[in-house]
A and B are shown apart, each in its own frame.
Chain A
């Protein structure tokens, strides 16, 4: 039987392999080694980031390649950008994607612009790893899903893996990529287990995966929402509706063809995105299909997203905030109509 790893361990293994293969790969961030310079600390007891994702790497590669940074996101993110331009291949961890506010200039105005502004004469082989998503009771400043914001910026690539296998292969690709890649890890997926082959493998950016084949409805789901889509598809299948689920895996580059071909077949598109509903990945994909696949559509495109509100703290409200399979099922049924359902 194939080996199973958690999402967290799969990400750790990708970094381990990348660091083993290329000594220019370094890892920096807040507490990524954990307890830097504490004399008594055995490295195996050290934190490895607030979620433990980088555990063991400080011990294996030393604290020159796995460096704790002061809580100064602008400072170390900007440093990571220029370290990338000048010869290193850094992985810079932003503990929560919400903290991007503190490092945005370095990412948006420096890192994302350098290759273009410098006439193509510079490369920025930087990977920004960050956690996102609601569901941990972490409230408004630790629960957002901000990948859409970065997808809007030319010069950045954006990856949102949905499972351990993809996380490992996509992260290895991201690290080897010569542009900035923002890699979004849903914090509520860290303990999710899945099959992950040993050793080195990569998954290209811009290649969506069809997670389930179906003729009645295309569901594009981002990150953790793939699992919501699968749950909904199982329920819909019992009612005779066959959904095709597409996991884009990277939002920039975006695999437009796979989405358009699927909609051409099914005639219906539903997009699930945990981000807030305005100007997010769902609206972007919706616009793509209206623009390039309008003739394929038999029904209006529907989006199931978080509401236009910050993430609430109270557990009952947070559960209402996150898109649910029941909403997806109901939305899909509305799109398809009673006629098809009774066929």
Chain B
């Protein structure tokens, strides 16, 4: 990793953290409609993987998708406006937090359906293969989704057809309120790769440098026509399933330990300092820029208009009056 990459990664991790902190704060005021599911704490995975992607590579995401969107290059203004339900949002206010998408940057959509992303990523891999774009597709999913039928169907198709797809499990310990160990018969998600004869790799999902390395190999394999890889990144959901969740299923020890001791941004700070990739001044500059960008995104969202009423029936193939 060079200085430029370290700087990009540190900036993206900060953007995600600051963005989510703002969303959390504003959601509590009641200004944001619907549900929000926060990604803060899991930044290392989205950033470590997306570091290897180009704009013609695609990703699919989940209900906890803000981090993937930011790492893949979605505009903070467009995202925040979308979450507020404004017409300047990336989906013109019609999608909301769970459905942010931006095909311009290869973001094939957050998703409200658990397991919804697997076949979509396979499809993006299929088009890359047939159109010979050289692109790859990454499917981000939570541990809850690894028990869904689409996980197995999607990975099998990608593996059987050797498509350029990377499956990235974010094992944060819980599928909604249910612990991973209860819901999953296998000890790990990675070992399920064996059944599809593809590499399955477990990695510390809070160490962005390790995620970066593992993802590099997987993306190279995919670009070289060697087929899919299943990566299981181990992390922890420092937030609830949704904002407002009482999180009674979490232990006190975990609650105290995780946000502080194993924070992926703090870990990366130490790494870049030790390896002289960034100095304190560089980091402070990035932090300031990030805070400013998120503040501007909030202002942009505040100042944007809600969609016109006519938008209700636009973008449907057929309208019946």
- Taking Cβ atoms with an 8 Å cutoff, the residues of A that contact B are 30-31, 34-42, 45-47, 50, 68-75, 98-99, 101-102, 136-142, 277-278, 307-310, 312-318, 320-321
Contact = CB atoms under 8 A, between A and B. Distances in A.
Interface residues of B, number: 50
B85 A314 contact: yes
Given A50-B176, A313-B33, A313-B95, A102 B249 contact: no
B313 A137 contact: no
Contact of B313 (A39, A309, A315): A309
A47 B114 CA distance: 19
A310 B312 CA distance: 9
Contacts of A315: 33, 85, 306
Contacts of A39: 251
Contact of A140 (B33, B112, B320): B112
Nearest to B306: A316
Contacts of A307: 312-313, 319-320
Residue with the greatest number of chain B CB neighbours at <10 A, chosen from A34, A72, A278 = A72
Is chain A's binding surface mostly helix, strand, loop or mixed? Answer: loop
14 contacts: A30-B176, A31-B178, A35-B248, A36-B178, A45-B246, A47-B248, A50-B176, A98-B112, A138-B34, A308-B318, A313-B82, A313-B94, A314-B33, A317-B307
Nearest to A36: B182
B154 to A, nearest CB: 13
A313 B82 CA distance: 9
Nearest to B252: A40
Interface in B66-110: 82, 85-87, 91, 93-96, 98-99
A6 to B, nearest CB: 18
Residue with the greatest number of chain A CB neighbours at <10 A, chosen from B34, B178, B306 = B178
B183 interface: yes
Given A315-B306, A316-B307, A308 B149 contact: no
Given A140-B99, A315-B85, 10 more contacts: A38-B179, A45-B246, A68-B183, A70-B178, A73-B148, A102-B115, A138-B34, A141-B98, A313-B82, A317-B93
A316 B84 CA distance: 11
Given A36-B182, A71-B183, A102-B148, A142 B33 contact: no
